[in-house]
C-alpha cells in the first residue's frame, strides 16, 4: 500500500498550491524540496527581484523630491545592507510556507527526489511510494555556449553578490536582463546590455519594445544591439568581453540572461518511463504525463512560464484528481509585465499578431502618449504610452499595452476587461477617475492610428 495519496516533487509555487489544495480535499500529501520553499518566485526571482526594483527607484525619488520643495537629501547606498535584507525576507517566506504546510498536515522532506521506478521515488535515504506523483520542479537559468562562460553569473546569483558591480554587463534582451539592467543602473552602477537582436523584449508589442529601450537609454543604460559576446577572459582588471562588433570591453560582473530550461537534471525520469517534449515534460490538457498516475505542472512543462499560471495549474490538478471538480487552466488573456525603467505591461494580442490573425483592415489601433502629472514639476522626460488593439467587427478588446508607471497595476485591471470580453465602447463609456494615469484608457477613442502599422512607432520618437 502506498505511503501517500500524493507526492509532490518540488516546493515552488506550483507544488505548494497543488499540495495545499489536495490536502484540503482530504489527501495524504508529501512534498520533496531540498531548497527554499516557494521556488524560483520566492527565492530566486519575482519577490527578491521586485524588492531590488524598489530599492533602485529611490535614487530618482530623492532627486524628484527637490522639485516638490524638499531639500536635497544626503544619502548613500549600501549594497550589503540591501542583499542582507532581501535574503532575510526570503528566509521569512520560507518559514511562512513551512508553517502553512504543517498546518495542513503535509509532510515535508528536505531532500532531492529521484525516480526509482514509476511508483517509487528515492527521497534522501528512504524510498517513498504514492498513488499519484506530481512533478513541479520548475526551471533553471542556462548559460549559452560561450567560451569562458564559467566566469559569468546567472540571475540566481544576483541576490548573493558580496559587492555591488561597478561596471555591470548583461547578455540578453529579455525581461530578466532588462529588469536587472534597470536595477543596477538605479543603484548607481554603470550598465551595458548586449543584445544580438535589433530590439529588446522579443514577443512584446512594438510600443513596449521601443518605449522601454528609449526610456532606459535616457536613464543611462548603454545598449549594444546586433552584438554577441564571442568569448570571455578573466584578468586582473576583471572580465574582458570579446564582442562580435567593436572593441573588447572590460567589466567586473557579467550576467548571462539568455533563457531558462526545465529543471529535470538528476530526476531520472527514464526510470519512471515519463516522456519528454523537447527539453520539457510532455503533458496533456489535464497536465497528465504518459504515465497515468504522474502529472507535471509549472515551468518544467511547455506552457506559459509565469508564477500565477503555475499556481493555477497546481490547483486545477488537485481539484481534478482529488476534489471531484475537474477543470482546466485557460491560457487566454494572461497579463505580463517587465519592471524596467520605465515599467511596462500588457495583456492580450500584440498589434502585429492581431493584424496577422484578423487581417490588417479588421483591426483598429488606438494610442496615446503623454507626460504624467507627477513630472509636470520634476521636468523629467518620463512619458506614458498606451495602446488598445480592437477588433473592428465586434468592437471587442484584443490587447492592451502600456509603458510607464504604474503599468503593471493598470494592466492587471485591464486583464479583467479582456477576460470578460468587454468592448472598446464599454471602455469609453466608463467614467474616468481624475486626475489619474489610468483615466487615459477611457479616452483612447480620440486617437485612432492609421489602418496600416506605422514603423517606427510615433509614440516612441
pLDDT, position 446: 61
Indicate the pLDDT class of residue 182, thresholds 50, 70 and 90: very high
CA distance 210 to 401: 12
Q: Which residue has the higher pLDDT, 30 or 459?
A: 30
pLDDT range class, residue 449, cuts 50, 70, 90: confident
Q: Which CATH architecture has domain 4-141+261-322?
A: 3-Layer(bba) Sandwich (3.50)
Domain 149-258 in CATH 3.50.50.60? The answer is yes
Provide CB contacts within 8 A for 43, sequence distance 6+: 35, 36, 90, 93, 94
The residues, any chain, with a CB within 8 Å of residue 284's CB and separated by 6 or more, are none
Q: Residue 337, Cα to own-chain centre: how many angstroms?
A: 7
Q: At what angle do helices 307-322 and 13-24 cross, to 10 degrees?
A: 30
Query: According to the model, what pLDDT value does residue 252 have?
Result: 96
Q: pLDDT at position 458, please?
A: 45
Reported as a single tens digit per residue, the pLDDT across 207-252 is 999 999 999 999 999 999 999 999 999 999 999 999 999 899 999 9
Q: Would 4-141+261-322 and 149-258 be classified into the same CATH topology? A: yes
pLDDT at 461: 55
Which class for 113: exposed (0-12), middle (13-18), buried (19 or more C-beta within 10 A)? buried
What value does the mean pLDDT take over residues 105-118?
A: 97
pLDDT band at 195 (very low <50, low <70, confident <90, very high): very high
What pLDDT score was predicted for residue 460?
47
Average confidence score pLDDT of the chain: 95
Distance CA 197, CA 247 (A): 19
Q: How far apart are the first and last CA of the chain?
A: 68
User: What does the pLDDT look like over 372-389, one tens digit per residue?
Assistant: 999 999 999 999 999 999
3-state secondary structure of 3: coil
Residue 456 has pLDDT above 50, yes or no: no
pTM of this prediction?
A: 0.94
Q: Could you tell me which CATH number the domain at 342-460 has?
A: 3.30.390.30
Please say if the pLDDT value at position 126 is more than 90: yes
Angle made by CA atoms 15, 19, 25, in degrees to the nearest 5: 150
Express as a percent the part of the chain with pLDDT over 90: 94
Q: Which residues are catalytic?
A: 434
The residue extents of the domains of the chain are 4-141+261-322, 149-258, 342-460
CA contacts within 13 A on the Cβ side of 118: 10
Average pLDDT over residues 394-407: 97
Give Dmax over CA atoms of the chain in angstroms: 72
- What's the pLDDT tens digit per position in 274-317? 999 999 999 999 999 999 999 999 999 999 999 999 999 999 99
Distance CA 148, CA 168 (A): 17
Q: How does strand 238-243 pair with strand 249-251? A: antiparallel
Average confidence (pLDDT) over 78-96: 97
Residue identified by cell 513596449 is: 208
Amino acid at each position: 500500500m502506498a505511503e501517500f495519496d500524493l507526492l509532490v516533487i518540488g516546493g515552488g509555487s506550483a507544488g505548494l498550491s497543488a499540495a495545499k489544495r489536495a490536502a484540503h480535499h482530504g489527501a495524504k500529501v508529501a512534498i520533496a524540496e531540498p531548497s527554499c520553499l516557494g521556488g524560483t518566485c520566492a527565492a530566486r526571482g519575482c519577490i527578491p527581484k521586485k524588492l531590488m526594483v524598489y530599492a533602485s527607484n529611490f535614487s530618482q525619488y530623492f532627486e524628484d523630491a527637490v522639485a516638490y520643495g524638499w531639500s536635497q537629501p544626503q544619502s548613500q547606498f549600501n549594497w550589503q545592507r540591501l542583499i542582507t535584507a532581501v535574503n532575510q525576507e526570503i528566509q521569512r517566506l520560507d518559514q511562512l510556507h513551512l508553517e502553512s504546510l504543517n498546518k495542513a498536515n503535509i509532510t515535508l522532506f528536505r531532500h532531492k527526489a529521484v525516480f526509482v521506478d514509476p511508483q517509487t521515488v528515492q527521497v534522501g535515504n528512504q524510498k517513498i511510494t504514492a498513488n499519484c506523483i506530481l512533478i513541479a520542479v520548475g526551471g533553471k537559468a542556462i548559460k549559452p555556449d560561450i567560451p569562458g562562460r564559467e566566469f559569468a553569473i546567472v540571475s540566481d546569483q544576483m541576490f548573493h553578490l558580496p559587492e555591488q558591480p561597478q561596471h555591470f554587463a548583461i547578455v540578453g534582451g529579455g525581461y530578466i536582463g532588462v529588469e536587472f539592467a534597470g536595477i543596477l543602473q538605479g543603484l548607481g552602477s554603470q550598465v551595458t546590455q548586449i543584445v544580438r537582436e535589433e530590439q529588446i523584449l522579443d514577443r512584446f508589442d512594438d510600443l513596449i519594445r521601443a518605449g522601454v529601450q528609449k526610456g532606459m537609454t535616457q536613464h543611462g543604460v548603454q545598449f549594444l544591439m546586433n552584438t554577441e559576446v564571442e568569448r570571455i577572459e578573466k584578468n586582473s582588471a576583471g572580465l574582458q568581453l570579446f564582442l562580435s562588433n567593436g572593441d573588447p570591453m572590460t567589466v567586473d560582473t557579467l550576467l548571462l540572461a539568455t533563457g531558462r530550461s526545465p529543471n529535470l537534471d538528476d530526476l531520472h525520469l527514464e526510470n519512471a518511463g515519463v516522456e519528454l517534449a523537447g527539453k520539457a515534460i510532455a503533458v496533456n490538457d489535464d497536465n497528465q504525463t504518459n504515465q497515468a498516475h504522474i502529472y507535471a505542472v509549472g515551468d518544467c512543462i511547455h506552457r506559459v512560464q509565469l508564477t500565477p499560471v503555475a499556481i493555477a495549474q497546481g490547483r486545477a490538478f488537485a481539484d481534478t484528481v482529488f476534489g471531484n471538480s475537474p477543470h482546466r487552466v485557460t491560457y487566454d488573456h494572461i497579463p505580463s509585465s517587465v519592471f524596467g525603467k520605465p515599467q511596462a505591461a500588457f495583456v492580450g494580442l500584440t498589434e502585429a499578431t492581431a493584424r496577422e490573425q484578423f487581417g490588417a483592415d479588421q483591426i483598429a489601433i488606438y494610442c496615446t502618449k503623454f507626460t504624467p502629472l507627477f513630472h509636470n514639476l520634476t521636468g523629467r522626460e518620463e512619458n506614458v504610452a498606451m495602446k488598445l488593439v480592437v477588433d473592428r467587427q465586434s468592437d471587442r478588446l484584443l490587447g492592451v499595452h502600456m509603458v510607464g508607471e504604474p503599468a503593471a497595476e493598470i494592466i492587471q485591471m485591464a486583464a479583467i476587461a479582456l477576460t470578460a470580453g468587454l468592448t472598446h465602447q464599454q471602455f469609453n463609456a466608463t467614467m474616468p477617475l481624475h486626475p489619474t494615469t489610468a483615466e487615459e484608457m477611457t479616452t483612447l477613442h480620440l486617437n485612432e492610428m492609421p489602418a496600416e502599422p506605422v514603423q517606427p512607432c510615433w509614440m516612441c520618437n
